[in-house]
Amino acid sequence: MSVPEDIGKEKGLFAAYKLAEAYIPIQIYGETFDPKAALIHGTLFPELYRPYPVRPKV
């Protein structure tokens, strides 16, 4: 199996991470929806909003 050349360069980015552990970035407090918009979106936080594309039904 060949390894792309630039994988070594990217290693620095992941130096703080250990193998065989899962990581999630800690959220930073920023902009928020107003109450009504928050309830419609299902979250107060625009950066956590991941809408599901509703497909047209037959």
Partner 1 sequence: MWYYEKKLQYPANVSRTDLGMAKFLYAQYGGPDSELSAAVRYLTQRYTMPIPQAKAVLTDIGTEELAHWEIIGTLIYKLTDGATPEQMRRAGVGNYYAQHDKALYPADAAGVPWTAAYIQSTGDPIADLHEDMAAEQKARTAYEHLINLTDDPCVIAALSFLREREVVHFQRFGETLMLVREYLDKKHVY
Partner 2 sequence: MYSKDMMNLLKEIMAVDFVLYELGLFLDTHPNERRALEDHNNFAKKSHQLKTAYEEKYGPLHINSISGFPYQYINDPWPWEIQYLGRESDVVL
Write out the residues near partner 1 by the rule CB under 8 A: 21-24, 26-27, 39-43, 45, 48-52, 54-55, 57
Type of residue found at 58? V
To partner 2, the closest distance from the beta carbon of 58 in angstroms equals: 21
16 makes contact, choosing from partner 1, partner 2, none, with CB < 5 to 8 Å by partner type, with none
Beta carbons within 8 Å of 44's beta carbon, 6+ residues apart: 32, 33, 38
Q: Which is nearer to partner 2, 18 or 36 (CB)?
A: 36
Is there binding between residue 32 and partner 2 (CB under 8 A)? yes
